[in-house]
Amino acid sequence: MKFICHKSELAKGVNIVMKAVPSKTTMSILECILIDASANEIKLTANDMELGIETVIEGTIEEKGIVALDARFFSEIVRKLPDNDVVIETDTSFRATITCEKAVFNIIGRSGEDFSYLPYVEKNDSISVSEYTLKDVVRQTIFSISDNESNRMMTGELFEINENMLRVASLDGHRISIRNIELKENYASRKVVVPGKTLQEIIKILPGEADRMVDIFFTENHILFEFEQTKVVSRLIEGEYFHIDQMLSSDHETRVKINKREFLNCIDRALLLVREGDKKPIIMDIKDGSVMLKIRSFIGSMDEEIEIEKEGKDLMIGFNPKFFMDALRVIDDEEITLYMMSPKAPCFIRDDEESYIYLILPVNFNAASV
């Protein structure tokens, strides 16, 4: 095999497929990037058996062939090469020579015979969203998946399509994050659960352009994301997702309008008093015109007043401050509205169109100590 491509193009491609190289594995071939120049394109592939990524890079093939190279070393070498054309050449024993300007690297490659290619995905059933939207919607919901593998369903995100609406949701038993996006066309109804890890990697490699589209294909067990020169295939999580609609309610006794930035900064400061693993709630004492936010921990205490617009009953309610932080960080609105029922019932943060709904369960607190 022999081909020539520019360093920047090679580095871009390697960076993309690296996301599917497992950090630990007992199958050493999975630690490799497969470079396939056996047809008329140069294709890089990595596959950890859950998630597989392939991307095509620009270059000139002088001799067709395939080689598998250790992903870590290859990526580090590529990153440090001068910014110029790179020649990659292998001999019959898969010894690879990487030449760029006057630097010549030799590393030992493998045939790639035992490499697992990406599963074949039939392209019947698909939707299309912009790179920007997909990236945004995942970022705005991914934080409330659970990292506890004992409930595998919670480690994924729901992608639900109904006519021209896409709903993306995640939950971890303490909170639910939902985003609703309008699509440009009507599609067949679909409900799949995508592993969180897949989505976390996709948002890292997705350029996020508003005017370029990602095609998403669904099969029984897989989801395929296609954008630009890249394909990402992931297994789906099997089983039925939680019935989210049953957990939502539009009743409320107290409605609060609050400046998001002020609220966020205040919780950020309150978090200083909470050490890792310590579960001190932030107490919101909601009255007409203002909320007093209070936190007490063994380190000290903080009190801060924020002006609000309130409708309905006064309320004192406690929350895990981190859960509020996570939700507030991904809401773009300057002013947000909280809907609450009682100190025991969930708080909803949502806009009028319900383009977003964040549900956060309150926590118990000792009212006497506040």
* Contact residues for its own copies, defined by CB under 8 A: 70, 73, 76-77, 80-82, 102-108, 265-266, 268-269, 272-273, 299-306
Q: Which is nearer to its own copies, 199 or 266 (CB)?
A: 266
Nearest approach, Cβ of residue 304 and its own copies (Å): 4
Q: Which is nearer to its own copies, 18 or 236 (CB)?
A: 18
The answer to whether 224 and 159 have CB atoms below 8 angstroms apart is no
Q: Which is nearer to its own copies, 105 or 242 (CB)?
A: 105
The answer to whether 109 and 121 have CB atoms below 8 angstroms apart is no
Nearest approach, Cβ of residue 31 and its own copies (Å): 13
Nearest approach, Cβ of residue 101 and its own copies (Å): 8
Compute the chain's Rg from CA coordinates.
Answer: 25
Beta bridge mates, 85: 6
Between the CA of residue 231 and those of 47, 52, 205, what are the distances in Å?
A: 11, 8, 11
The answer to whether 308 and 257 have CB atoms below 8 angstroms apart is yes
First to last CA, the chain: 72
Q: Which is nearer to its own copies, 4 or 302 (CB)?
A: 302
Residue 209 CA to residue 134 CA, distance in Å, equals: 10
- C-alpha atoms less than 13 angstroms from C-alpha of 58 in its C-beta half-sphere: 6
Residue 328 DSSP one-character state: H
Cα–chain center distance at 153: 16
Q: Which is nearer to its own copies, 81 or 199 (CB)?
A: 81
Nearest approach, Cβ of residue 47 and its own copies (Å): 23
The closest alpha carbon to 64, from 36, 83, 45, belongs to 36
Between the CA of residue 199 and those of 158, 226, 249, 281, 370, what are the distances in Å?
A: 11, 13, 28, 30, 41
Nearest approach, Cβ of residue 85 and its own copies (Å): 16
Torsion, Cα of 70, 71, 77, 79 (10° steps):
170
Q: Which is nearer to its own copies, 76 or 354 (CB)?
A: 76
Q: Which is nearer to its own copies, 215 or 304 (CB)?
A: 304
Nearest approach, Cβ of residue 278 and its own copies (Å): 13
Nearest approach, Cβ of residue 86 and its own copies (Å): 12
Q: Which is nearer to its own copies, 35 or 237 (CB)?
A: 35
Between the CA of residue 259 and those of 18, 59, 131, 263, 319, what are the distances in Å?
A: 41, 52, 30, 6, 18
Q: Which is nearer to its own copies, 82 or 173 (CB)?
A: 82
Nearest approach, Cβ of residue 269 and its own copies (Å): 5
Nearest approach, Cβ of residue 191 and its own copies (Å): 42
Cα–chain center distance at 63: 39
Q: Which is nearer to its own copies, 202 or 266 (CB)?
A: 266
Nearest approach, Cβ of residue 166 and its own copies (Å): 37
Residues 6+ apart with CB under 8 A from 10: 57, 59, 78, 86
Residue 53 CA to residue 15 CA, distance in Å, equals: 11
Residue 1 CA to residue 74 CA, distance in Å, equals: 16
